Amino acid sequence: MENEEELKISEERECGYYAGRISRESYIVSSPSISIPEQEKLLNDGFRRYANLYYIHTCRACTECTSYRIPLRDVKFSKSQRKILKLNSNLTVRMITPHSTTEKEELYLRYQYSQHFQKKLPEIFRKTEEFIPEEILDNMYSQMYSNPSSSAELETTDENGRLLSFAIFDIARESVSAVYSVYDPQEEKRSLGVLNILNGIEWSIQNGYKYFHLGLYLHGHPKMNYKNKFGPAEIRERNSGLWKPFVSTESM
């Protein structure tokens, strides 16, 4: 790794996925000027990006966190995934240079409020004990707009131009990596989260990329089950560092 001398180890803390377990990461502090070959190397080594950090889990007592990617030459959409594409065929999908708007800010707030508080966003954004929009918006900019220059943003709008979803993808030499996805929580029937991935995969195939990275995967964890429906896929073994076949659980 070109930045091996910059590899740092985080402090140990409680795992965000399994109660009672201790987590830590190895990480690199990067910049928007990171080269595309270096970005490709980090993805191939199983690293995931958050803001300006590329990290990989190196927990002492657990190896369940693995990296998950889809070789695009083999990808197959399931019957249910093809139905989602057909259902949303009237929407407009664009891959653009990442940029924020007030409409994206509001959608991000509604998405986060729905996902983490299981409530609707108040009509007027006011600070409360449980919800501070300013802090969440700061997280949005770190999470989605502190990007390498090669990143791209997927926007999906309806017939009236209303924004339904947006997602950030890192574009390396042979790989595309899904960074973060936001969608309208009131449009459940459209399965917009799945649609963002499907459209990202289709764009990657059309533009000649070899791999589509879906980030972290924990086999059997309820928050990760949606990923194993995309494939056939590969997971990276932590001990050997090799990518091994992982067959999707969803019938094709």
Q: What is the pLDDT of residues 180-193, one digit of tens each?
A: 999 999 999 999 99
Residue 136 is assigned to a structural domain of this protein: yes
* 36 in any annotated domain: yes
* Residue 18 in domain: yes
Structural domain harbouring 14: 4-65
Q: What is the pLDDT of residues 238-252, one digit of tens each?
A: 888 999 999 765 544
d(CA 107, CA 186): 11
Asked if residue 140 has pLDDT above 70, the reply is yes
Quote the pLDDT of residue 215. 93
| Residue 180 near residue 196 (C-beta atoms within 8 A) | no
Domain annotation covers residue 54: yes
Whether 159 is in a domain gets the answer: no
Mean pLDDT of 76-86: 97
Distance separating alpha carbons of residues 68 and 49, to the nearest angstrom:
14
* In a domain? residue 163: no
- Higher-confidence residue of 151 and 118: namely 151
Residue 152 in any domain: the answer is: no
End residue of a domain, out of 85, 118, 146: 146
Domain-terminating residue out of 146, 181, 209: 146
Final residue before a domain boundary, out of 146, 179, 210: 146
Percentage of the chain beyond pLDDT 90 is 71
For the chain, the domain total comes to 2
Q: Is residue 37 part of a domain?
A: yes
> What sections of the chain are H helices per DSSP?
36-44, 79-87, 102-117, 133-145, 192-206
Residue 113 — very low, low, confident or very high, per pLDDT cuts 50/70/90? Answer: confident
Mean pLDDT of the chain: 89
Residue 127's Cβ-count burial label (10 Å; 0-12, 13-18, 19+) is exposed
